[in-house]
A = this chain, B = another copy of it.
């Protein structure tokens, strides 16, 4: 049942979950419910829920939207 994942696939999965957690944490820090943030961002509430729970991989466009409305910064930096 459980397909083996490559190291790369594991890193991708891990990052997806960590990003969802991060978004949830920041949203709560800002005092928004999912519904409030959804309305503010003009996207669907269920989409926010799915993103926070890592149900799919969001596009960078959405990442930027979160960064705008949560006042966060997403950066590409040297290791």
Interface residues of A (CB under 8 A from B): 8, 11-12, 15-16, 19, 22, 57-65, 67-68, 71-79
Give the docked Cα–Cα distance between A24 and B76 (Å). Answer: 13
Residue of B nearest to A67 (CB): B76
A65's partner among B12, B64, B73 (CB-CB below 8 A) is B12
With contact pairs A11-B68, A73-B76 given, residues A61 and B19 touching in the complex (Cβ less than 8 Å): no
Number of this chain's copies in the assembly equals 2
Q: Which of B12, B67, B73, B78 contacts A73 (CB 8 A)?
A: B78
Which residues of B have CB within 8 Å of A79?
A: 71-73
Q: Measured between C-beta atoms, what is the minimum distance from A22 to chain B in Å?
A: 5
Query: Which B residues lie within 8 Å of A64 (CB)?
Result: 11-12, 15-16
CB of A20, distance to nearest CB on chain B (Å): 10
